[in-house]
Amino acid sequence: MAVVRMLRIVALVAWPVSWYLVWKEIFVWHHMTKTLRFRAPDPPPGVTVTPRPGVPVICLRAVAVVAPVVSVLGFAAEARKAAQAGGFGRVRPRS
């Protein structure tokens, strides 16, 4: 279960960082639209190559989508393990 816990911690750190960078890409650097599509600046005249997103932008979009899912699944796995052990959400009788 240590792997699930470590994966959850990494995802919890990556989640806000990735969405902060998405915000910067959309509103500051203008490399993406609000629908997370890549928007390149117009190429200089005479350049026939069409701009495409690079590895950082592709990885950023992947992390922004995968990190919340991994975090939620990590919490669900840990809650399920605790519930099966009888220590999660169980009311103890008073003596």
pLDDT, average across residues 5-10: 91
Strand partners, 32: 38
| pLDDT reported for residue 85 | 79
pLDDT, average across residues 4-12: 91
> What is this structure's pTM?
0.78
User: Model confidence over 21-78: pLDDT tens digits?
Assistant: 999 999 999 989 999 899 988 888 999 888 888 999 999 999 999 999 999 998 898 8
The residue length of the chain stands at 95
Q: Supply 43's token pair.
A: 């190429």
Q: What angle do CA 30, 60, 64 make, to 5 degrees?
A: 105
| pLDDT reported for residue 86 | 75
| pLDDT reported for residue 71 | 93
